[in-house]
Protein backbone atom coordinates (compact mmCIF):
# COMPACT_ATOMS: atom_id res chain seq x y z
CA UNK A 1 0.00 0.00 0.00
CA UNK A 2 1.37 3.41 -0.95
CA UNK A 3 2.17 5.64 2.04
CA UNK A 4 0.40 8.95 2.52
CA UNK A 5 2.66 11.87 1.71
CA UNK A 6 2.48 15.29 3.29
CA UNK A 7 0.97 16.93 0.20
CA UNK A 8 -1.70 14.22 -0.03
CA UNK A 9 -2.68 14.67 3.61
CA UNK A 10 -2.65 18.45 3.14
CA UNK A 11 -5.06 18.33 0.17
CA UNK A 12 -7.29 15.72 1.85
CA UNK A 13 -8.23 18.29 4.51
CA UNK A 14 -10.12 20.22 1.82
CA UNK A 15 -13.57 18.56 1.55
CA UNK A 16 -13.84 17.47 -2.08
CA UNK A 17 -17.65 17.25 -2.08
CA UNK A 18 -18.05 20.81 -0.79
CA UNK A 19 -15.47 21.99 -3.33
CA UNK A 20 -17.38 20.35 -6.19
CA UNK A 21 -20.62 21.93 -4.97
CA UNK A 22 -18.98 25.36 -5.21
CA UNK A 23 -17.74 24.52 -8.72
CA UNK A 24 -21.27 23.66 -9.83
CA UNK A 25 -22.74 26.71 -8.10
CA UNK A 26 -20.28 29.14 -9.72
CA UNK A 27 -20.01 27.24 -13.05
CA UNK A 28 -16.23 27.66 -13.06
CA UNK A 29 -15.62 24.60 -15.25
CA UNK A 30 -17.74 25.99 -18.07
CA UNK A 31 -15.22 28.44 -19.55
CA UNK A 32 -12.16 26.16 -19.48
CA UNK A 33 -12.65 22.39 -19.72
CA UNK A 34 -9.03 21.49 -20.54
CA UNK A 35 -8.00 22.42 -16.97
CA UNK A 36 -10.56 21.69 -14.27
CA UNK A 37 -11.08 24.08 -11.40
CA UNK A 38 -9.79 21.56 -8.87
CA UNK A 39 -6.62 20.93 -10.91
CA UNK A 40 -6.09 24.69 -11.20
CA UNK A 41 -6.57 25.18 -7.46
CA UNK A 42 -4.25 22.26 -6.65
CA UNK A 43 -1.60 23.63 -9.01
CA UNK A 44 -1.66 27.01 -7.27
CA UNK A 45 -1.47 25.39 -3.83
CA UNK A 46 1.42 23.14 -4.89
CA UNK A 47 3.28 26.10 -6.42
CA UNK A 48 2.77 28.16 -3.28
CA UNK A 49 4.01 25.42 -0.95
CA UNK A 50 6.98 24.66 -3.23
CA UNK A 51 8.03 28.31 -3.59
CA UNK A 52 7.68 28.47 -7.39
CA UNK A 53 7.26 32.01 -8.69
CA UNK A 54 6.62 31.66 -12.45
CA UNK A 55 4.22 29.74 -14.66
CA UNK A 56 7.10 28.26 -16.65
CA UNK A 57 8.71 26.85 -13.51
CA UNK A 58 5.41 25.47 -12.23
CA UNK A 59 4.64 23.61 -15.47
CA UNK A 60 8.21 22.35 -15.76
CA UNK A 61 8.34 20.92 -12.24
CA UNK A 62 4.85 19.35 -12.33
CA UNK A 63 5.60 17.71 -15.69
CA UNK A 64 8.52 15.89 -14.02
CA UNK A 65 6.17 14.18 -11.57
CA UNK A 66 5.08 10.69 -12.78
CA UNK A 67 1.44 10.52 -13.82
CA UNK A 68 0.64 7.84 -11.23
CA UNK A 69 2.06 10.00 -8.43
CA UNK A 70 0.28 13.06 -9.79
CA UNK A 71 -3.07 11.28 -9.67
CA UNK A 72 -2.62 9.53 -6.32
CA UNK A 73 -0.87 12.28 -4.33
CA UNK A 74 -2.08 15.54 -5.90
CA UNK A 75 -5.45 14.19 -7.12
CA UNK A 76 -4.81 15.78 -10.54
CA UNK A 77 -5.75 14.22 -13.87
CA UNK A 78 -2.80 15.58 -15.84
CA UNK A 79 -0.05 18.21 -15.72
CA UNK A 80 -1.23 21.71 -16.72
CA UNK A 81 0.23 23.72 -19.56
CA UNK A 82 1.44 27.30 -19.30
CA UNK A 83 -1.25 28.56 -21.69
CA UNK A 84 -4.00 26.85 -19.66
CA UNK A 85 -2.80 28.40 -16.40
CA UNK A 86 -2.55 31.83 -18.00
CA UNK A 87 -6.02 31.57 -19.49
CA UNK A 88 -7.50 30.26 -16.23
CA UNK A 89 -6.12 33.22 -14.27
CA UNK A 90 -8.30 35.53 -16.35
CA UNK A 91 -11.44 33.38 -16.75
CA UNK A 92 -11.86 31.98 -13.24
CA UNK A 93 -13.11 34.75 -10.99
CA UNK A 94 -11.52 35.38 -7.60
CA UNK A 95 -14.93 35.26 -5.88
CA UNK A 96 -14.85 31.47 -6.19
CA UNK A 97 -11.55 31.20 -4.30
CA UNK A 98 -12.91 33.46 -1.57
CA UNK A 99 -15.79 31.00 -1.19
CA UNK A 100 -13.26 28.15 -0.99
CA UNK A 101 -11.41 29.99 1.79
CA UNK A 102 -14.65 30.43 3.73
CA UNK A 103 -15.56 26.77 3.22
CA UNK A 104 -12.15 25.50 4.40
CA UNK A 105 -12.20 27.85 7.38
CA UNK A 106 -15.60 26.52 8.44
CA UNK A 107 -14.46 22.92 7.90
CA UNK A 108 -11.32 23.37 10.03
CA UNK A 109 -13.42 25.09 12.68
CA UNK A 110 -15.65 22.00 12.81
CA UNK A 111 -12.57 19.77 13.14
CA UNK A 112 -11.26 21.83 16.06
CA UNK A 113 -14.59 22.28 17.82
CA UNK A 114 -13.50 19.96 20.64
CA UNK A 115 -9.91 21.22 20.73
CA UNK A 116 -8.86 23.22 23.78
CA UNK A 117 -6.10 25.01 21.89
CA UNK A 118 -7.13 27.64 19.41
CA UNK A 119 -4.66 28.98 16.90
CA UNK A 120 -4.83 32.77 16.66
CA UNK A 121 -1.64 33.38 14.70
CA UNK A 122 -3.49 33.90 11.41
CA UNK A 123 -6.37 35.98 12.71
CA UNK A 124 -6.84 39.53 11.40
CA UNK A 125 -9.41 42.15 12.30
CA UNK A 126 -11.30 41.42 9.10
CA UNK A 127 -9.12 39.49 6.58
CA UNK A 128 -11.73 39.44 3.83
CA UNK A 129 -12.05 43.23 3.90
CA UNK A 130 -8.29 43.79 4.10
CA UNK A 131 -7.62 41.93 0.84
CA UNK A 132 -10.96 42.70 -0.75
CA UNK A 133 -11.92 45.34 -3.28
CA UNK A 134 -11.34 48.29 -3.24
CA UNK A 135 -8.22 47.95 -1.03
CA UNK A 136 -6.44 45.63 -3.42
CA UNK A 137 -7.65 47.61 -6.40
CA UNK A 138 -5.80 50.61 -4.98
CA UNK A 139 -2.63 48.52 -4.65
CA UNK A 140 -3.09 47.27 -8.19
CA UNK A 141 -3.42 50.78 -9.60
CA UNK A 142 -0.41 52.37 -7.90
CA UNK A 143 2.06 49.53 -8.53
CA UNK A 144 3.13 47.72 -11.67
CA UNK A 145 3.24 44.21 -10.20
CA UNK A 146 5.00 42.53 -13.10
CA UNK A 147 8.26 44.37 -12.28
CA UNK A 148 8.70 42.93 -8.81
CA UNK A 149 10.29 39.54 -8.12
CA UNK A 150 11.60 39.78 -4.53
CA UNK A 151 10.37 40.40 -0.97
CA UNK A 152 13.57 41.97 0.36
CA UNK A 153 12.21 45.49 0.56
CA UNK A 154 11.35 47.63 3.56
CA UNK A 155 7.96 47.41 5.19
CA UNK A 156 6.10 49.41 7.75
CA UNK A 157 2.67 48.86 9.28
CA UNK A 158 0.45 51.61 10.72
CA UNK A 159 2.05 51.26 14.18
CA UNK A 160 4.89 48.97 13.26
CA UNK A 161 8.62 49.18 12.94
CA UNK A 162 10.48 49.99 9.75
CA UNK A 163 12.39 46.95 8.53
CA UNK A 164 15.21 48.23 6.34
CA UNK A 165 16.74 46.16 3.59
CA UNK A 166 19.88 44.32 4.63
CA UNK A 167 22.62 43.47 2.19
CA UNK A 168 24.65 40.83 4.00
CA UNK A 169 26.63 40.19 7.16
CA UNK A 170 29.47 38.69 5.12
CA UNK A 171 32.81 40.45 4.74
CA UNK A 172 35.36 40.88 1.97
CA UNK A 173 34.82 39.91 -1.70
CA UNK A 174 31.65 37.93 -0.95
CA UNK A 175 29.89 41.00 0.41
CA UNK A 176 31.05 43.15 -2.53
CA UNK A 177 29.60 40.66 -5.03
CA UNK A 178 26.28 40.61 -3.22
CA UNK A 179 26.20 44.40 -3.08
CA UNK A 180 26.77 44.64 -6.86
CA UNK A 181 24.13 41.98 -7.52
CA UNK A 182 21.55 43.79 -5.41
CA UNK A 183 22.36 47.14 -7.00
CA UNK A 184 21.75 45.66 -10.47
CA UNK A 185 18.39 44.33 -9.35
CA UNK A 186 17.61 47.68 -7.76
CA UNK A 187 18.19 49.46 -11.07
CA UNK A 188 15.89 46.96 -12.81
CA UNK A 189 13.08 47.63 -10.28
CA UNK A 190 12.90 43.94 -9.34
CA UNK A 191 12.19 44.45 -5.66
CA UNK A 192 8.74 43.94 -4.20
CA UNK A 193 6.76 47.22 -3.92
CA UNK A 194 7.16 49.20 -0.72
CA UNK A 195 4.19 50.98 0.79
CA UNK A 196 5.30 53.15 3.71
CA UNK A 197 3.17 55.12 6.17
CA UNK A 198 4.62 57.86 8.38
CA UNK A 199 2.42 59.25 11.13
CA UNK A 200 4.39 62.34 12.19
CA UNK A 201 7.56 64.39 11.54
CA UNK A 202 9.42 63.02 14.57
CA UNK A 203 9.62 59.61 12.89
CA UNK A 204 11.34 61.17 9.86
CA UNK A 205 14.11 62.66 12.03
CA UNK A 206 14.53 59.34 13.84
CA UNK A 207 14.79 57.09 10.75
CA UNK A 208 15.98 59.60 8.15
CA UNK A 209 18.70 57.31 6.69
CA UNK A 210 16.22 54.45 6.24
CA UNK A 211 13.73 56.69 4.49
CA UNK A 212 16.39 58.02 2.12
CA UNK A 213 17.38 54.47 1.09
CA UNK A 214 13.92 53.34 -0.05
CA UNK A 215 13.74 51.52 -3.38
CA UNK A 216 12.61 53.44 -6.41
CA UNK A 217 8.90 53.36 -7.33
CA UNK A 218 7.92 53.08 -3.66
CA UNK A 219 4.87 54.91 -2.33
CA UNK A 220 4.94 56.95 0.90
CA UNK A 221 1.94 58.33 2.80
CA UNK A 222 2.73 60.99 5.42
CA UNK A 223 -0.13 61.76 7.80
CA UNK A 224 1.28 65.24 8.47
CA UNK A 225 3.36 67.87 6.69
CA UNK A 226 7.04 67.11 5.93
CA UNK A 227 9.30 70.15 5.61
CA UNK A 228 12.49 68.15 5.04
CA UNK A 229 13.28 69.41 1.53
CA UNK A 230 16.41 67.26 1.25
CA UNK A 231 14.39 64.07 1.83
CA UNK A 232 11.67 65.12 -0.63
CA UNK A 233 14.29 65.91 -3.29
CA UNK A 234 15.88 62.49 -2.74
CA UNK A 235 12.50 60.83 -3.23
CA UNK A 236 11.91 62.82 -6.42
CA UNK A 237 15.28 61.79 -7.85
CA UNK A 238 14.65 58.11 -6.99
CA UNK A 239 11.12 58.14 -8.52
CA UNK A 240 9.52 57.62 -5.12
CA UNK A 241 5.97 58.91 -4.94
CA UNK A 242 4.67 60.55 -1.78
CA UNK A 243 1.47 62.16 -0.59
CA UNK A 244 1.19 64.29 2.55
CA UNK A 245 -0.93 66.92 4.24
CA UNK A 246 -0.44 70.42 3.00
CA UNK A 247 0.53 73.30 5.33
CA UNK A 248 -2.21 75.79 6.14
CA UNK A 249 -0.87 78.39 3.76
CA UNK A 250 1.49 78.17 0.79
CA UNK A 251 2.76 81.53 -0.37
CA UNK A 252 4.04 82.47 -3.80
CA UNK A 253 2.83 79.49 -5.80
CA UNK A 254 2.05 79.39 -9.50
CA UNK A 255 -0.80 77.34 -10.95
CA UNK A 256 0.38 75.28 -13.90
CA UNK A 257 -2.74 73.29 -14.66
CA UNK A 258 -6.26 72.85 -13.36
CA UNK A 259 -7.28 69.22 -13.67
CA UNK A 260 -10.79 67.95 -14.33
CA UNK A 261 -12.53 66.76 -11.18
CA UNK A 262 -13.77 63.12 -11.19
CA UNK A 263 -17.42 62.34 -11.75
CA UNK A 264 -18.73 60.85 -8.50
CA UNK A 265 -21.76 59.30 -10.22
CA UNK A 266 -19.45 57.01 -12.21
CA UNK A 267 -18.58 54.98 -9.09
CA UNK A 268 -20.84 52.50 -7.26
CA UNK A 269 -22.49 53.56 -4.01
CA UNK A 270 -20.53 50.95 -2.04
CA UNK A 271 -17.25 52.53 -3.13
CA UNK A 272 -15.71 54.77 -0.47
CA UNK A 273 -15.08 57.55 -2.99
CA UNK A 274 -18.82 58.21 -3.14
CA UNK A 275 -18.61 59.54 0.44
CA UNK A 276 -15.80 61.96 -0.45
CA UNK A 277 -16.28 65.22 -2.31
CA UNK A 278 -13.23 66.49 -4.20
CA UNK A 279 -13.12 70.28 -4.44
CA UNK A 280 -9.76 70.99 -6.08
CA UNK A 281 -7.12 69.23 -8.18
CA UNK A 282 -4.37 71.50 -9.51
CA UNK A 283 -0.70 71.32 -10.41
CA UNK A 284 1.46 74.06 -8.94
CA UNK A 285 5.04 75.32 -8.71
CA UNK A 286 5.66 76.33 -5.12
CA UNK A 287 8.15 76.56 -2.26
CA UNK A 288 6.65 74.69 0.67
CA UNK A 289 9.37 75.58 3.17
CA UNK A 290 11.15 78.78 4.15
CA UNK A 291 14.57 77.25 3.43
CA UNK A 292 13.59 76.03 -0.05
CA UNK A 293 15.14 78.00 -2.88
CA UNK A 294 13.92 76.18 -5.99
CA UNK A 295 10.14 75.71 -6.41
CA UNK A 296 8.85 72.14 -6.68
CA UNK A 297 6.36 70.77 -9.19
CA UNK A 298 3.55 69.46 -6.98
CA UNK A 299 -0.08 68.52 -7.20
CA UNK A 300 -2.59 69.89 -4.68
CA UNK A 301 -5.79 68.01 -3.83
CA UNK A 302 -8.56 69.36 -1.64
CA UNK A 303 -11.52 67.23 -0.55
CA UNK A 304 -14.18 66.94 2.14
CA UNK A 305 -14.35 63.74 4.18
CA UNK A 306 -17.12 63.54 6.81
CA UNK A 307 -17.50 67.33 6.75
CA UNK A 308 -13.76 67.84 7.31
CA UNK A 309 -11.67 69.72 4.76
CA UNK A 310 -8.31 68.10 3.94
CA UNK A 311 -5.66 69.47 1.57
CA UNK A 312 -2.93 67.18 0.24
CA UNK A 313 0.33 67.65 -1.64
CA UNK A 314 1.86 64.99 -3.84
CA UNK A 315 4.56 64.64 -6.48
CA UNK A 316 2.48 62.07 -8.39
CA UNK A 317 0.95 63.85 -11.38
CA UNK A 318 -0.10 60.73 -13.30
CA UNK A 319 -2.28 58.71 -10.92
CA UNK A 320 -6.05 59.19 -11.01
CA UNK A 321 -7.54 61.61 -8.48
CA UNK A 322 -9.82 59.07 -6.86
CA UNK A 323 -6.91 56.66 -6.35
CA UNK A 324 -4.73 59.25 -4.60
CA UNK A 325 -7.53 60.42 -2.33
CA UNK A 326 -8.51 56.88 -1.38
CA UNK A 327 -4.88 55.88 -0.85
CA UNK A 328 -4.58 58.63 1.75
CA UNK A 329 -7.93 57.88 3.38
CA UNK A 330 -7.36 54.09 3.47
CA UNK A 331 -3.58 54.01 3.90
CA UNK A 332 -3.84 51.88 7.04
CA UNK A 333 -5.76 49.11 5.28
CA UNK A 334 -3.33 49.14 2.35
CA UNK A 335 -0.35 49.02 4.72
CA UNK A 336 -1.86 46.07 6.60
CA UNK A 337 -2.36 44.28 3.27
CA UNK A 338 1.35 44.66 2.41
CA UNK A 339 2.27 43.52 5.89
CA UNK A 340 0.06 40.46 5.51
CA UNK A 341 1.34 39.28 2.11
CA UNK A 342 4.97 39.62 3.25
CA UNK A 343 4.97 38.62 6.92
CA UNK A 344 1.97 36.30 7.11
CA UNK A 345 1.35 34.78 3.68
CA UNK A 346 5.01 34.84 2.48
CA UNK A 347 4.08 35.67 -1.12
CA UNK A 348 7.35 36.39 -2.92
CA UNK A 349 5.81 37.42 -6.26
CA UNK A 350 2.52 37.22 -8.12
CA UNK A 351 2.09 34.86 -11.05
CA UNK A 352 -0.24 37.28 -12.85
CA UNK A 353 -0.51 41.05 -13.12
CA UNK A 354 -4.29 41.46 -13.39
CA UNK A 355 -6.44 42.26 -10.38
CA UNK A 356 -8.21 38.90 -10.71
CA UNK A 357 -4.92 36.95 -10.73
CA UNK A 358 -3.58 38.81 -7.68
CA UNK A 359 -6.78 38.27 -5.67
CA UNK A 360 -6.91 34.60 -6.68
CA UNK A 361 -3.34 33.92 -5.56
CA UNK A 362 -3.89 35.84 -2.31
CA UNK A 363 -6.93 33.77 -1.38
CA UNK A 364 -5.17 30.52 -2.32
CA UNK A 365 -2.24 31.51 -0.07
CA UNK A 366 -4.63 32.43 2.73
CA UNK A 367 -6.34 29.03 2.42
CA UNK A 368 -3.00 27.19 2.41
CA UNK A 369 -1.79 29.06 5.50
CA UNK A 370 -5.04 28.20 7.27
CA UNK A 371 -4.41 24.49 6.68
CA UNK A 372 -0.73 24.78 7.65
CA UNK A 373 -1.59 26.41 10.97
CA UNK A 374 -4.12 23.65 11.59
CA UNK A 375 -1.50 20.95 10.93
CA UNK A 376 1.06 22.61 13.21
CA UNK A 377 -1.54 22.92 15.95
CA UNK A 378 -2.63 19.29 15.63
CA UNK A 379 0.97 18.04 15.67
CA UNK A 380 1.64 19.76 18.99
CA UNK A 381 5.11 20.82 17.84
CA UNK A 382 6.72 23.91 19.28
CA UNK A 383 7.56 25.45 15.93
CA UNK A 384 6.40 28.58 14.19
CA UNK A 385 4.45 28.64 10.94
CA UNK A 386 7.29 30.59 9.28
CA UNK A 387 9.86 27.89 10.15
CA UNK A 388 7.45 25.17 9.02
CA UNK A 389 6.74 26.95 5.74
CA UNK A 390 10.46 27.15 4.91
CA UNK A 391 10.83 23.37 5.33
CA UNK A 392 7.85 22.51 3.12
CA UNK A 393 9.58 22.25 -0.30
CA UNK A 394 11.75 19.42 1.06
CA UNK A 395 9.01 17.37 2.75
CA UNK A 396 6.03 17.66 0.39
CA UNK A 397 6.48 14.09 -0.91
CA UNK A 398 7.80 12.66 2.36
CA UNK A 399 5.83 10.24 4.49
CA UNK A 400 3.37 12.21 6.61
CA UNK A 401 3.63 9.70 9.47
CA UNK A 402 7.28 10.71 9.92
CA UNK A 403 6.28 14.32 10.38
CA UNK A 404 3.59 13.49 12.95
CA UNK A 405 5.84 11.09 14.91
CA UNK A 406 8.95 13.29 15.19
CA UNK A 407 10.02 14.71 18.52
CA UNK A 408 7.79 17.51 19.74
* Rounded CA separation 62/67 (Å): 10
pTM of the model: 0.74
What is the per-residue pLDDT for 37?
92
Rounded average pLDDT per 10-residue block, the chain, 408 residues: 80 92 90 86 93 87 90 89 89 90 87 56 50 63 59 37 36 54 50 74 76 80 86 87 84 83 62 68 83 82 83 88 83 77 77 82 89 82 76 84 59
- What phi and psi values does residue 220 have, to the nearest 5 degrees? -120, 130
pLDDT at 314: 92
Look at residue 112 in the predicted model and tell me its pLDDT.
Answer: 66
In this predicted structure, what is the pLDDT of residue 171?
45
d(CA 140, CA 355): 6
**Strand pairing report for 241-245 and 219-222:** parallel
Specify burial of residue 208 (Cβ count, 10 A radius: 0-12, 13-18, 19+).
Answer: middle
For the chain, the structural domain boundaries read 6-122+353-405, 128-343
Q: What is the pLDDT of residue 119?
A: 52
pLDDT of residue 164: 34
pLDDT of residue 38: 93
Amino acid sequence: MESETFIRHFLSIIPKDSFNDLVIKNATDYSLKSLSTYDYFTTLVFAYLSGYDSLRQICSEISKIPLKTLQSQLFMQKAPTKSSLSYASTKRHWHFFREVYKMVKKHIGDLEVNSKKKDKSLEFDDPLNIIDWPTLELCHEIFDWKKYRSTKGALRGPNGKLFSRRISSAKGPTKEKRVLKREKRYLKNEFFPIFLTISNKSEIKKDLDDYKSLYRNSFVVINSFCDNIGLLDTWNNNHIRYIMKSPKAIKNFKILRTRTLPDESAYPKSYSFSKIKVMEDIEIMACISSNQRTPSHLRRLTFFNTEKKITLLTNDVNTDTRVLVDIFVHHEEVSIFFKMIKNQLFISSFLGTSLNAILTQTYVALTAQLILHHLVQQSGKKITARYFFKKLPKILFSDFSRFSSEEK
